[in-house]
Amino acid sequence: MDEELVWITEAKEGNQRAFHALYSANVTRLFRFLRQFSPETDQVEEWVQRAFIKAFEHLDSFDGRSRFSSWLFTLALNEMRSDWRRAQIVAFVPAEDEQEDASHESDNFEWRQMMKSWMDDLDESKRTVFILYEVEGYSHAEIASMLGIAESSSRTFLVRAKRRLQERWNKETNQ
């Protein structure tokens, strides 16, 4: 974190290497996060690029009260939502995990297809909070800040998402 603060300070002073260091430290995680909302790699790459351009253009407005990645994810989510509003479509595709053992590929594929179906049933708010909290590891305070909602709303969305996923699990496994 201390190194990140140095990069931010230097990038604000116009040091392009420092901004590149911020980019390198965050690009993979941001791409992986956004990939869960679109099956189109080109679209995800565009959101990532636009988020970093906005971050570069507005770095002076980053006040350091949150992590840089939280601020960057907020910019990316805004880009994504802007496109969704224009296109009026929302899609979810699970991120591709690291290479799996060959013996588990079939089961893994079936599980992913099932999860995709279940996640498609969640509305955007629940799905986004679920992914930010459970997959990306952000706190409810960070999520609230990123999405412009109350912390209690973040908790509520997560509980409702988990409840809905549990209901689907119980239904599928006849419990």
pLDDT (tens digit per residue) in 121-171: 788 888 888 888 887 788 899 888 888 899 999 999 999 988 888 888 777
Q: Does residue 28 lie within any of the structural domains?
A: yes
Residue at which a domain ends, from 59, 74, 93: 93
The span from the CA of 108 to the CA of 3, in Å, is 38
Average pLDDT score, the chain: 80
For the cut 70, the answer to whether the pLDDT of residue 32 exceeds it is yes
pLDDT at 151: 92
Domain end (from 93, 112, 143): 93
Q: Are residues 88 and 7 in the same domain?
A: yes
Cα-based angle 90, 69, 19 (whole degrees, multiple of 5): 115
Among candidate residues 159, 146, 121, the one with its CA nearest the CA of residue 33: 146
- Is 1 in the same domain as 71? yes
Angle between helices 41-57 and 16-35 (to 10 degrees): 140
138 and 171 in a single domain? The answer is yes
Residues 86 and 132 in one domain: no
Q: How far is CA 95 from CA 12, 108, 161, in A?
A: 33, 12, 18
Position 99 scores a pLDDT of 42
Question: For the chain, what is the radius of gyration of the CA atoms?
Answer: 18
In a domain, 98, yes or no: no
Judge if 54 and 124 occupy the same domain: no
Query: Domain span at residue 128?
Result: 104-175
| 73 lies in the same domain as 127 | no
Kindly state whether residues 149 and 77 are assigned to the same domain. Answer: no
User: Per-residue pLDDT for 93 more than 80?
Assistant: no
End-to-end CA distance of the chain: 45
Give yes or no for a contact between 83 and 47, defined as CB atoms under 8 angstroms apart.
yes
Least confident of 29-43, 86-100, 110-124: 86-100
- CATH number of 164's domain: 1.10.10.10
In a shared domain, residues 79 and 163: no
Specify the number of domains making up the chain. Answer: 2
